[in-house]
Amino acid sequence: MKLSLELKQIPKESTVLIGVSGGRDSMALVHALQNQRKDLTLVAAHMNHGLRDSAESDAEFVKGMMLRWEVTFEGFKPRPPTSGNTEEWGRDKRYEFFQKVAKKYKADFIVTAHHQDDDFESMMLHFVRGTRVKGLSGMAFTRSDFTPTLLRPLLYTSRAEINAYIGYHEIPYRDDPTNEDDTLARNFLRNKIIPVLTHVYPGLAERWQKQKSYWVDLQKMLETGARTFMQEFLNKKEGLSRPAYAKLAYPLRATVLELWYQDSTGRHVPDSATLERWDEAILTFDPRKKTEWDPSSKKMRFLSMSKERAKLI
């Protein structure tokens, strides 16, 4: 049995770094790449988050399996944070580690094992929390903002197919017990809500994925329009023109704010409520009033108003 993989973007004889947690998805991906693309040089990277009891044994399992499969292995255990968003910290540290290892081995690509069900869950999570066009497009198959490019070869492969592949080839893997904790929003969606939806509407995730290009293209149109506006009405010294901004429709205003925040901080806007707070401030605040812009930075920054401009201070 072969596993459905989208690998057209990976040329022959490439070096590929694979993010390997030890779970069924990443173990299936390593096995499939090793057997379906024998021309590739594979490097497995595992980050031990140290946040659950099984973390050490998970790391030893991945290291042992990669030795058994003759795949180069790199492991890393960062110091856990004492405060803040642990999930965000883990994601940032993990990709930072992947890029470092990729540079060491001169990898041409980084690949992760996110699949169709992960993609649908992410979109649903954005949807129930309140999202814009970007959230409805789900995960990107390719991320060129990474060095090297990050790909998700399993993005259009279902969890059911991966499970069947694991069973057919009797591939060992580790279960993450936290996946059963339904107090976590993603797990509640995965374990309680989505099974009901797919029972009533079979093939729902696959049908939604067929619409991804629509949402992706729509987001690109918004970003192109926002960049054009920003070139004329936003500059670092004087800030943003409030009258010009007020003439935009909300989808464009929100995109301008998203891009402005990314350009000034290197991060994504945390949530829709933050965007709405900034938007209201620019549209309604009196001169000399301000609102928080980047409270997570060492020196807190604010979005401050004058009669004509909104400026970062």
Tokens of 254: 């929100």
The answer to whether the peptide bond before residue 177 is cis (omega within 30 degrees of 0) is no
For the chain, what is the domain count? 2
| Average confidence (pLDDT) over 108-125 | 97
pLDDT at 214 over 90: yes
Q: What is the layout of strands, in order, in the sheet containing 142-143?
A: 72-76, 41-47, 15-19, 109-111, 149-151, 142-143
Q: Is residue 9 part of a domain?
A: no
CB-based contact 58:174 (threshold 8 Å)? yes
Residue 84: per-residue pLDDT: 67
Q: Is residue 4 part of a domain?
A: no
Q: Taking the CA atoms of the chain, what radius of gyration do you get in angstroms?
A: 22
Among 41, 184, 209, 18, which residue's Cα sits nearest to residue 111? 18
Which of 140, 174, 209 is the C-terminal boundary of a domain?
209
pLDDT at 52 over 90: no
pLDDT at 200 over 90: yes
Among 149, 188, 154, which residue's Cα sits nearest to residue 27? 154
Which of 162, 190, 209 is the C-terminal boundary of a domain?
209
Per-residue pLDDT tens over the stretch 233-287: 999 899 999 999 999 999 999 999 999 999 999 888 888 889 999 999 999 999 9
Residue 231: give the domain boundaries: 212-312
Residue 152 carries which DSSP code? -
**pTM of the shown model:** 0.87
Q: Is residue 6 part of a domain?
A: no
Q: Is residue 292 part of a domain?
A: yes
Mean pLDDT score across all residues of the chain: 94
- Same-domain pairing of 126 and 258: no
Per-residue pLDDT tens over the stretch 130-141: 888 989 999 999
Q: Is residue 283 part of a domain?
A: yes
The CATH number for 127's domain is 3.40.50.620
Q: Is residue 54 part of a domain?
A: yes
- Same-domain pairing of 64 and 170: yes
